Structure 1
Amino acid sequence: MMAFQFNVDVVGELRNIIPSCRLIVPSTVLYELEGIKKRSKGKNKIAASIALKIAKTPPIEVKEMKLQTGETVDDSLLRVSMRSKILCTNDRELRNRAREIGINVIYLRQRKYLDVDGHIKR
């Protein structure tokens, strides 16, 4: 949603930071965005709509995922990110949890550009 909210080319920025990585969005995130879109109005509804369009457009791939018993969307993101050791999020609590288990986090800094918390091999 930050692409709309802060006019940041998230895909372009990610390509600069991690040019050789696949950009994957778990389907659980899409379901969460669809829920936000349905129950929101105004700017949040527009931001969720744009985020959904971006997430479904190449080079981003949607990975079909099911939540495990008792698992939240955040838990599933951490589970999936354990393989690549990279997660892109602006959610502060999720960023802290990722750092605690050794996952590098890409996040929006100063509402202008993406930055890396950790070290990513290019």
Structure 2
Amino acid sequence: MTIKIILDANFLFIPSQFQIDIFDELMKLLNQRFEPILLSPTYKELQKIAEKGSPKMRQHASLALKLAEKCRLVEVKQDFEETHDDVIVRVAAEWKCPVATNDQALRKRLRDINVSVIYLRQRSHLEMEGNVP
């Protein structure tokens, strides 16, 4: 069975910041096939950072956009008042699939609704809170 994993923008920065292959690490952690999912608002956020961020963030975002090519881009509607994180929480709850993020506030919101979260631990490996559905 292939499991869907929703990736947050900051998760795609891990390779350029910590020299960690997130796809290899996800395979080791999950020990099963997975499909990395990138939601359209996340992709747009990466594009915006790549164009208008600080020089260092533009560099991270450019690499993240290259990594995004390995993901399935899913077009999702974002309501006007919805933040990028709101969209991730909504879709993860609907699909009942884990989210890969390093954002503390987002991790807490996901835990509060019993969604599994994958995150970078000790700048060296990935760890999961919760269980794979």
What TM-score results when the alignment is normalised by the length of structure 2? 0.82
Matched, 1:80 2:91: yes
Question: How many corresponding residue pairs?
Answer: 119
Q: Distance in 2 between matches of 1:16 and 1:25?
A: 20
Matched, 1:12 2:24: yes
Aligned to 1:28: 41
Match of 1:102 among 94, 110, 114: 114
The 8 Å contact of residues 108 and 115 in structure 1, kept in 2 or not, is answered as: yes
The 8 Å contact of residues 85 and 102 in structure 1, kept in 2 or not, is answered as: no
Q: Read off the aligned partner of 1:47 and give its amino acid letter.
A: H
Q: Distance in 1 between matches of 2:77 and 2:87?
A: 8
CA RMSD, 1 decimal: 1.4
Aligned to 1:40: 53
SS of equivalent residue, structure 2 residue 34:
coil
Q: Distance in 1 between matches of 2:47 and 2:77?
A: 16
Q: Deviations over 1:16-35 (max 9, x none)?
A: 22323321110110100111
Cα gap change, 1:67/1:75 in structure 2, threshold over 3 Å: closer, same or farther? same
Aligned to 1:53: 66
Shift of 1:65: 1.6
Aligned to 1:63: 74
Unaligned runs of 5+ in 2: 1-12
Shift of 1:70: 1.7
Matched, 1:89 2:106: no
Q: Write out the 4+ residue segments of structure 1 that deviate beyond 4 Å after TM superposition.
A: none
Q: Distance in 2 between matches of 1:70 and 1:44?
A: 26
Aligned to 1:114: 126
